[in-house]
Amino acid sequence: MLLSKTSEYGIRAMLHLAGVGGDVYLPVKRISKDLDISFHFLTKIFQQLTRAELVDSYRGPNGGVRLRCEARSIAVKDILVALEGDDLFTKCVLGLPECGEGHPCPLHEHWARSRMQIETMFGGKSLIDLGAELRSGGFRLRATGEWTEPTK
């Protein structure tokens, strides 16, 4: 599989936040229900995203998480890097430590191109853009069942 569950969940949750928009704090509980993701697991993921300063969190009633102002223009790539590091965008596809121009693996050149394309694809659109597309409809962030508009 390309991405870990952590990344899949993290990206879906962040896109969900971007889709909801606004400055309101959304409880993780709510997000976990909206997207059908394990609440406790999602909590851990948001703790990472909070430490990475991609989201603000607030405790207590009316608390929750929201996209950090300074991070509204981030891309999916930034979520990935926060959750898993940048291995996908830097490392040799065959796992060879010093793979590079000097000692390339047989796939080095080919993979370099693919990698760049992947980086562009994950880095090309901002969460704002993706959130807007999400609101415009036709897109989906959960497995099955109909969409329930968050109440707050």
Partner DNA sequence: CACAAAAAAGATATAAATGTCTTAAAACGG
Partner DNA sequence: CCGTTTTAAGACATTTATATCTTTTTTGTG
**Applying CB under 7 A, which residues contact DNA?**
4-6, 9, 26-29, 38, 40-41, 43-44, 46-47, 50-51, 57-65
Give 152: exposed, middle or buried? Use CB within 10 Å, 0-12, 13-18, 19+: exposed
Element spanning 12, H or E: helix 5-20
In whole angstroms, how close is the CB of 138 to DNA at the nearest point? 27
What residues numbered 112-131 form the site for its own copies, per CB under 8 A?
Answer: 113-114, 117-118, 121, 124-125, 130
Out of 8, 43, 57, 128, the only residue in the binding site for its own copies (CB under 8 A) is: 8
Cα separation, 67 vs 52, whole angstroms: 12
Nearer of residues 56 and 133 to DNA, judged by Cβ: 56
CA dist 47 and 51 (Å) reads 6
Pick from DNA, its own copies, none: which does 68 bind, CB < 5 to 8 A by kind?
A: none
